[in-house]
Amino acid sequence: MTEKRQFKAIKGTRDILPPDSTLWNWFEHTARDVFESYNFRDIRLPVIEEAQLFARSVGIDTDIVSKEMFTFQDRPFGLEGPKNFNDLDRYIKEIEELLSSGQIPNDEDNRTTLGLLKETTADLDLVLKDKKISSLSGEFFQLFYHIDSLRLGDELVLRPEATASVARAYIENGMQTLPGNTKLYYMGPMFRRERPQKGRYRQFYQIGAEVLGQSDAPAIDAEVLEMLVVFFKRVGLTRTTLYINSIGCKECRPQYVELLREKLREVKDQLGPDSQRRIETNPLRVLDSKLPQEQPIIAKLPRISDHLCAECREHFTKLKEELGLRGIVYEENWRLVRGLDYYTRTTFEVTAEGLGSQNAVCGGGRYDGLVELLGGPPTKGIGFAIGSDRAILSIQEGGKLPHLPGLAVFVAWMGQAAYPTAVNITRKLRTAGLAVEVPPEEMKFKKSLGLADKLGASYALIIGEDEVASNTFTLKRLADSEQKKLSELELLEYLESERRGSR
């Protein structure tokens, strides 16, 4: 007998259920409205990408690439591993055909591994013929090792972020030929294998926007930040702080990084294991450390603002002037470096109250050179990603939830003669854009109103023998029990005006 098992969501993932999903839909719809008012347009990206896309763009020494990506190997359709020793010849022949046709990577590593697999198979065949059973274990180990070492396809990942994907799409689809700047926004799930905590999941959601083009004018950066501030105000996230910084360009940043590395080596013994490792791999990330014992040390480190080249210093000064022109309040944070290798010059972050130490709800910056790094033409770029999970959590914990649309009308019909009328008016109300629930079976009047109340309906539309006979409807507002008799036309006009007024 098969044991019954209760399946649960994988650790670090969760179901977003009503009514929370209604809040999520409103949050995303508001983002679309705001972003499109700034002439950004929606881009839909695949959740699966090549691992090398992120290794090259995000940086192989970043935590995202080195620790957190969900990776798997692609493989040709229909290829099956050997079922037993006698099936090895079939498997090797199939691998040779796929290799020669390019359906699996025809590189030196794979060719060498295939040769070793064929040699081991031949040796094992001789051992079996001579019945030297004591020699089998080592041969079998080598056999399985070579089979496992074959690279049957590209290494793929569930995307950990989307900026690299946008850059890849920009190049692949020749979007540099479009007029003006290319302004794109996206929303959807991202995936990182990290420790789940408050507002942080392994499958999490982001809303982001990117501007790609030939200009790096500070006014572009300022408008992106203005759009972000407008959006957060629109969704009621008012207890936020915008931090900005400049991390220099390819001319001045490397010199600062080497200076920082030199100073960090002097205090290496006072740092934790992660920061010690990052001294050599990515010293800027040390500035991101949240360990209390490291804060006094970091406070004494050189600041990048003191080591910017003249062009970067001018760019940052003009950015602050542009923000002042738009009335945007901000704070400078010299430690704001962001965790990804592709950032240059402007970096920014938005934090919100009520989320503990992990309080960032949005981060972004300028990434001039990313498109070129990925094989595209020289292109300037800037963008951000909002952590939807954390932002919505902050809205919920702030206690200022928006009025969200729910069930507008519950149709309480009684008697089979009333059922056709109930179905007909339900269809017309839904066509008018109202959410309507009509019971599939007849219910007693009191039970029907009780269900309407539990479902959170604003109105109960009562249809009985009297209403059918007089060709009218009784509309009851459940909040105060006020009732009125209305014709069909009056009913539709009244509910439409109520719907417009509740927006």
Domain match, 318 and 417 both? no
Domain match, 168 and 148 both? no
pLDDT average, residue stretch 168-187: 96
Mean pLDDT of the chain: 87
Domain match, 123 and 220 both? no
**Domain extent at residue 467:** 409-501
Domain match, 103 and 248 both? no
Residue 106 lies in a domain: yes
Domain match, 148 and 32 both? no
Domain match, 437 and 354 both? no
Domain match, 334 and 213 both? yes
Top-confidence range, 67-76, 195-204, 358-367, 453-462: 453-462
Domain match, 201 and 243 both? yes
Residue 328 lies in a domain: yes
Residue 5 lies in a domain: no
Number of alpha carbons in the 13 Å side-chain half-sphere of residue 441: 1
pLDDT average, residue stretch 280-293: 85
How many angstroms separate the first and last alpha carbons of the chain?
Answer: 56
Residue 211 lies in a domain: yes
Quick one: which of 395, 388, 434, 381 has its CA closest to 411?
434
The predicted pLDDT at position 160 comes to 92
Prediction pTM value: 0.84
Last residue of a domain, which of 122, 153, 184? 153
Higher pLDDT, 226 or 291: 226
Domain match, 193 and 115 both? no
Domain match, 234 and 162 both? yes
Domain match, 347 and 322 both? yes
pLDDT higher than threshold 90 for residue 502: no
Cα separation, 130 vs 366, whole angstroms? 68
Task: Read off the tokens for 303.
Answer: 């600041």
Residue 443 lies in a domain: yes
The predicted pLDDT at position 128 comes to 59
Cα separation, 475 vs 457, whole angstroms? 12
The predicted pLDDT at position 146 comes to 79
Domain match, 171 and 244 both? yes
Sorting pLDDT into bands at 50, 70 and 90, what band is 137? low
Last residue of a domain, which of 119, 134, 153? 153
Instruction: State how many domains the chain has.
Output: 3
Residue 434 lies in a domain: yes
Cα separation, 278 vs 63, whole angstroms? 10
Residue 261 lies in a domain: no
pLDDT average, residue stretch 407-421: 94
DSSP H or E segment with residue 332: strand 331-332
Residue 491 lies in a domain: yes
Sorting pLDDT into bands at 50, 70 and 90, what band is 491? very high
Q: What is the CATH number of the domain that holds 202?
A: 3.30.930.10
Task: Read off the tokens for 429.
Answer: 């109300």
Largest CA distance in the chain: 100
Q: What is the CATH number of the domain that holds 459?
A: 3.40.50.800
